[in-house]
Amino acid sequence: MVPPLSMIRFLVIDDSASERKLVRALLQTLGAEQIDEATDGESAIRLIKQVPPGLILCDWEMEPIGGLHLARFIRRSPASPDKRIPLIMMTGHADRQRVVSARDAGVNEFMVKPLSPHLLQSRIAAALDSRRPFITAHDYFGPDRRRHVAAWPGPERRTLRKAPEIRTRPAPVLDTPSLRYKV
């Protein structure tokens, strides 16, 4: 069950002031009261360390650190204050490669702009209410990328029990223009 949105601290990250204003207005329409904003991944990291949000809404394309690098930082960096923060990626591009890349970076949900109150509400509910277990692997940390399929016909059918966390070798170091962090 999703708590009232007035109880959740949101962080909206987008380099476009008009997009941040729109997302803020949509969140307020849905009942959100605590809404912080950042213009890019770098400023978002500083803000996340000061005041950890309950849910992040992040744009894909930003400079110097975009949404994909931010998601990797949140999920994999030892400097991340909370690796399990629900993260919703927003973008104007709906191609399959972006969706797969966002999923592989540890994003909980994916939204294509333009946003609507109904779409935003459904993604927030999915990110908060139906949390999948988190998985740790050599190149991934984040929500289980497998969505439940009730009628999988194959011999390797998974059961409905909660998946354990799997730990393997550490991930490589990533260089970015303004930050160095492990992913």
The residue type of 36 is D
What's the CATH code of the domain at 103? 3.40.50.2300
Q: pTM for the complete prediction?
A: 0.76
Q: What is the pLDDT of residue 20?
A: 97
The domain containing residue 122 runs over which residues? 5-182
Q: What is the pLDDT of residue 137?
A: 75
CA 39 centroid distance within chain? 16
Q: Tell me how far apart the alpha carbons of residues 123 and 109 are, in angstroms, rounded to a whole number.
A: 6
Q: What is the DSSP secondary-structure string of 42-105?
A: HHHHHHHHHS--SEEEEES--SSS-HHHHHHHHHH-TT-S-TT--EEEEES---HHHHHHHHHH
**Residue 136 DSSP SS3:** strand
Answer yes or no: are the C-beta atoms of 93 and 68 closer than 8 Å: no
Find, among 85, 78, 61, the residue nearest to 134 by Cα: 85
Q: Which helix (H) or strand (E) holds 158?
A: none
Q: What is the pLDDT of residue 181?
A: 46
How many helices (DSSP H) and strands (DSSP E) are in the chain? 5, 9
Q: What is the pLDDT of residue 177?
A: 47
Q: How many domains does the chain have?
A: 1
Residue 167 CB neighbour total at 10 angstroms: 11
Answer yes or no: are the C-beta atoms of 58 and 44 closer than 8 Å: yes
**132-164 b/e with 16+ CB inside 10 Å = b?**
bebbbeeebbbbeeeeeeeeeeeeeeeeeeeee
Q: Tell me how far apart the alpha carbons of residues 181 and 163 are, in angstroms, rounded to a whole number.
A: 28
Per-residue pLDDT of the chain (183 residues; tens, 9 = 90+): 678 999 999 999 999 999 999 999 999 999 999 999 999 999 999 999 999 999 999 999 998 899 999 999 999 899 998 899 999 999 998 889 998 899 888 899 999 999 999 999 999 998 987 667 777 777 777 777 665 555 555 555 555 445 455 444 444 444 444 444 444
